[in-house]
Amino acid sequence: MNKKELKQKSSSVNIHDALFNPGSIVVIGASNNDLKPGGRVIKNIKSHGFEGKLWAVNPKTRNILDLPTFSSIEDLPGAPDLAIIAIPAKFVLQCLKDLARKKVRVVIILTSGFGEKDDQGKILEREMLAIAEAADITLIGPNCSGFMTPAYKGKFAGIIPELPGNTVDFISGSGATVDYVMEQASYRGLSFGTVVNLGNSIQMGVEDILGLYDEQYNRSGVPVLMLYMEIVKKPLKLMLHARSLSRKGCFIVGIKSGTTAAGKRAAASHTGAMATNDTAVDALFAKSGIIRVRSKSDMIDVACVLSAAKGPLNGKRICVVTDAGGPGVMMSDELNRQGMELPVLKDKTQVCLREILPPESATANPVDCLPSRTADQIRSIVDLLAEEEKENVDAIAVVTGNSLLSDNWMIYKEIREAMDKSLLPVIPVLSSAVTAQNLIARYCSKGHIYFTDEVHLAKALRMVAGHYLPDDIAPRPDGYDKRTIADTLSKEPSIMSPRGVEQVLRGAGFRLPDQISVLERKELTDACNQIGFPMVMKVIGPLHKSDVGGVTVGLEDLAAVNVCWDRMMTIKGSKGVLLQSMVSGTELILGTSREEGFGHLVMFGIGGIYTEVLKDVQFALAPLSLDEGLKMIRNIHASPILEGARGNEGVDIHVLGDYLVRLGCLVTDFPEIDEIDLNPVKGFGSDLFVVDARIIKNS
Q: What is the pLDDT of residue 406?
A: 65
Q: What is the pLDDT of residue 671?
A: 95
Asked, for residue 125, whether it belongs to a domain, the answer is yes
What is the per-residue pLDDT across 537-576, written as a single tens digit (0 to 9) for each? 999 988 888 889 999 999 999 999 999 999 999 999 999 9
Q: Give all strands of the β-sheet with 576-581 in edge-to-edge order.
A: 515-518, 576-581, 535-540, 551-555
**DSSP string of 295-329?**
SHHHHHHHHHHHHHHTSS-SSSBEEEEESSHHHHH
Q: What is the pLDDT of residue 271?
A: 40
Asked, for residue 323, whether it belongs to a domain, the answer is yes
Judge if 194 and 284 occupy the same domain: yes
Judge if 368 and 424 occupy the same domain: yes
Judge if 591 and 603 occupy the same domain: yes
Closest of 516, 563, 559, 556 to residue 533, by C-alpha: 556
| Cα atoms in the 13 Å half-sphere on the side-chain side of 280 | 20
Judge if 28 and 115 occupy the same domain: yes
Asked, for residue 153, whether it belongs to a domain, the answer is no
Domain boundary, last residue among 465, 486, 506:
465
Judge if 401 and 365 occupy the same domain: yes
Judge if 570 and 630 occupy the same domain: no
Query: What are the φ and ψ backbone dihedral angles of 156, each rounded to 5 degrees?
Result: -110, -15
Q: Give all strands of the β-sheet with 318-322 in edge-to-edge order.
A: 367-368, 318-322, 395-400, 426-430
Domain CATH code at residue 554 = 3.30.1490.20
Per-residue pLDDT band for 365 (boundaries 50, 70, 90) equals very high
| DSSP H or E run through 160 | none
Asked, for residue 446, whether it belongs to a domain, the answer is yes
422-436, 660-674, 677-691: least confidently modelled range? 422-436
Closest of 615, 589, 594 to residue 664, by C-alpha: 594
SS3 annotation, 137-149:
CEEECCCCCEEEC
Q: What is the pLDDT of residue 227?
A: 98
Per-residue pLDDT band for 264 (boundaries 50, 70, 90) equals low
680 by DSSP, 3-state: which? strand
Domain boundary, last residue among 311, 329, 355:
311
CB 363 within 8 A of CB 353: yes
Judge if 402 and 434 occupy the same domain: yes
Compute the distance between CA of residue 24 and CA of residue 15 in angstroms, rounded to an integer.
13
Domain boundary, last residue among 535, 563, 582:
582
Judge if 300 and 398 occupy the same domain: no
Domain CATH code at residue 222 = 3.40.50.261
Q: What is the pLDDT of residue 387?
A: 94
| DSSP H or E run through 630 | helix 626-635
Judge if 649 and 525 occupy the same domain: no
Tell me which DSSP letter residue 641 carries: G
671 by DSSP, 3-state: which? coil
Asked, for residue 471, whether it belongs to a domain, the answer is no
The CA dihedral of 613, 617, 622, 623, to the nearest 10 degrees, is -140
Asked, for residue 529, whether it belongs to a domain, the answer is yes
Domain CATH code at residue 615 = 3.30.470.20
Closest of 440, 556, 494 to residue 696, by C-alpha: 494
Q: What is the mean pLDDT of residues 512-518?
A: 93
Q: What is the pLDDT of residue 269?
A: 44
Enclosing domain of residue 100: 1-143
**DSSP string of 68-136?**
-EESSGGGSSS--SEEEE-S-GGGHHHHHHHHHHTT--EEEE----STTT-HHHHHHHHHHHHHHHHTT
Q: Is residue 26 predicted with pLDDT exceeding 90?
A: yes
Mean pLDDT of all residues belonging to the chain: 90
Q: What is the pLDDT of residue 610?
A: 75
Q: What is the pLDDT of residue 405?
A: 58
Asked, for residue 503, whether it belongs to a domain, the answer is no
Judge if 70 and 120 occupy the same domain: yes
Q: What is the pLDDT of residue 273?
A: 42
What's the domain count of the chain?
A: 5
What is the per-residue pLDDT across 312-336, written as a single tens digit (0 to 9) for each? 999 999 999 998 889 999 999 999 9
Asked, for residue 491, whether it belongs to a domain, the answer is no
Judge if 590 and 541 occupy the same domain: no
What is the per-residue pLDDT across 578-611, written as a single tens digit (0 to 9) for each? 999 999 988 999 999 999 889 999 999 998 777 7
Share of the chain above pLDDT 70, in %: 94
Domain CATH code at residue 118 = 3.40.50.720
Compute the distance between CA of residue 164 and CA of residue 174 in angstroms, rounded to an integer.
25
Judge if 637 and 553 occupy the same domain: no
What is the per-residue pLDDT across 58-106, written as a single tens digit (0 to 9) for each? 999 999 999 999 999 999 999 999 999 999 999 999 999 999 999 999 9
